[in-house]
Amino acid sequence: MRNKLKLAGLALAVTFAWAGAASAATALTLTPIADHSVGPQSTSAPCIIAGTNCSNPAGFGFNDFTSNGSLSAYNMYSTTPTAVVADSVLGTPYTVGQITGIVGTSFAVAIDVNTTGAASETLNLFEVIVNGSVLYNYVGPTIIGGVSNNGNGYGDWTLGNISLAGLDSNDTVLFHANWSGATDGAESFFLFSAGGPPTAVPEPETYAMLLAGLGMMGFVARRRKQKAA
Predicted local confidence at residue 162, as pLDDT? 97
Q: Is the residue at 225 inside a domain?
A: no
Q: Is the residue at 18 inside a domain?
A: no
Q: Is the peptide bond before 81 cis (omega within 30 degrees of 0)?
A: yes
Q: Which helix (H) or strand (E) holds 228?
A: helix 204-228
Domain that includes residue 59, residue range = 26-198
User: Measured between alpha carbons, how far is 52 from 40 in angstroms, rounded to an integer?
Assistant: 12
From first to last of its 229 residues, the chain has per-residue pLDDT tens of 545 444 444 444 433 333 333 358 999 999 998 788 888 887 778 999 998 778 888 889 999 998 776 667 899 999 999 999 999 999 999 999 999 999 999 999 999 988 766 678 899 999 999 999 999 999 999 999 877 666 578 899 999 999 999 999 999 999 999 998 887 768 899 999 975 433 333 334 433 444 455 455 555 456 555 555 5
Mode of pairing for the β-strands spanning 29-32 and 157-163: antiparallel
Q: Is the residue at 150 inside a domain?
A: yes
Q: Is the residue at 7 inside a domain?
A: no
Predicted local confidence at residue 224, as pLDDT? 59
Q: Is the residue at 123 inside a domain?
A: yes
Q: Is the residue at 20 inside a domain?
A: no
User: Measured between alpha carbons, how far is 115 from 133 in angstroms, rounded to an integer?
Assistant: 31
Q: How many domains does the chain have?
A: 1
Q: Is the residue at 12 inside a domain?
A: no
User: Measured between alpha carbons, how far is 122 from 143 in angstroms, rounded to an integer?
Assistant: 4
Predicted local confidence at residue 20, as pLDDT? 39
Q: Is the residue at 107 inside a domain?
A: yes
pTM of the model: 0.74
